[in-house]
Amino acid sequence: MKLLFWYVLSMFNKRFLPKIHRRPDLLKLSLADKAIVVWKIHVTYNFLDASKNRNITK
């Protein structure tokens, strides 16, 4: 269930949130852009963690 939740959030991020890594200078991001980057990292790490935990229990 956790894996499905993080997978759906990951797909949402991929489709609807802007791709900030294409900006020329990541050090000059606005506060909102920094929050988006942190959110994407949080979702990605949790998805990978849930994926890893699922494979260990199999």
**CA dihedral over 45, 49, 52, 58, signed as positive or negative:** negative
Residue 53 has pLDDT above 80, yes or no: yes
Predicted confidence at residue 23, as pLDDT, reads: 72
Query: Which residue range is the domain that position 12 belongs to?
Result: 2-57
What distance in Å separates the CA atoms of residue 16 and residue 39, rounded to the nearest whole number? Answer: 13
Predicted confidence at residue 56, as pLDDT, reads: 54
- 47 versus 25: the higher-pLDDT residue is 47
Predicted confidence at residue 8, as pLDDT, reads: 92
- 30 versus 21: the higher-pLDDT residue is 30
Number of domains in the chain: 1
